[in-house]
Chain A
Amino acid sequence: NAGVMQNPRHLVRRRGQEARLRCSPMKGHSHVYWYRQLPEEGLKFMVYLQKENIIDESGMPKERFSAEFPKEGPSILRIQQVVRGDSAAYFCASSPPSLGSNTEAFFGQGTRLTVV
């Protein structure tokens, strides 16, 4: 059973370009969470998705950021018109249908985005 797979591991973009980060959850997991880790800071929640639904996007910046988790395929975190301040590590986690019922979230290895 493969773990949470994120790709690419490293992504370099010029200012103004788009960044697409992919996350394939563990088999059987239908919940996906995206977190951002800025240099010297902790993890900040961005968005929580279930298949085809956004449950909580309270941590997403209002502009340029979007996320989806389609019925088929990986979850995508999309950042349009990237700026230097978007440089960070983006972590995806997945969990089975109900995190509340004594399960845990498993993390991917993250995507390190560098905006030059």
Chain B
Amino acid sequence: AQSVSQHNHHVILSEAASLELGCNYSYGGTVNLFWYVQYPGQHLQLLLKYFSGDPLVKGIKGFEAEFIKSKFSFNLRKPSVQWSDTAEYFCAVNPINFGNEKLTFGTGTRLTIIP
């Protein structure tokens, strides 16, 4: 069974700082990778996704993530964070396994941006 690890549980940054949130997964086969964001009191929204091709993917709101297959990692980055980026961020993976394609989530990273 696949699993996802997000080692940073809570990250606190000042505005304009650079951000990198770690995500590692364990699964031997081919996977799709996702980052979701959950703003306070709201549902999950997709930030970006990787299916194939260029391992550096760009998402909404200036976020990007790099898939490094050899490291089983899909870290999320943003060069300069804003106060409005305060939210919880979830990494997720689903295996390319037709018939059972559940999304497995990490435990999330709470990001707090200090003005």
B 86-101 binary contact with A (CB < 8 Å = 1; else 0): 0000100011111111
Q: Which stretch of B12-20, B62-70, B105-113 is in the interface? A: B105-113
Query: CB distance A105 to B103 under 8 Å?
Result: yes
Query: CB distance A55 to B90 under 8 Å?
Result: no
Closest to A6 in B: B43
Contact residues of A between 94 and 108, Cβ < 8 Å to B:
95, 98-100, 102, 104-108
Q: How far is the CA of A110 from the CA of B38 in the complex (A)?
A: 12
Interface residues on B, range: 20 to 34
**Cβ of A3 to closest chain B Cβ, rounded Å:** 9
Query: CB distance A100 to B97 under 8 Å?
Result: yes
B 63-86 binary contact with A (CB < 8 Å = 1; else 0): 000000000000000000000000
Knowing that A93-B103, A107-B44 touch, tell me 11 more A-B residue pairs with CB under 8 angstroms: A31-B101, A41-B107, A42-B6, A42-B90, A42-B106, A43-B90, A58-B1, A93-B44, A100-B98, A102-B51, A104-B34
Q: 10 interchain pairs (CB within 8 A)?
A: A31-B101, A41-B107, A45-B103, A48-B102, A55-B99, A99-B103, A100-B94, A104-B49, A107-B43, A107-B44
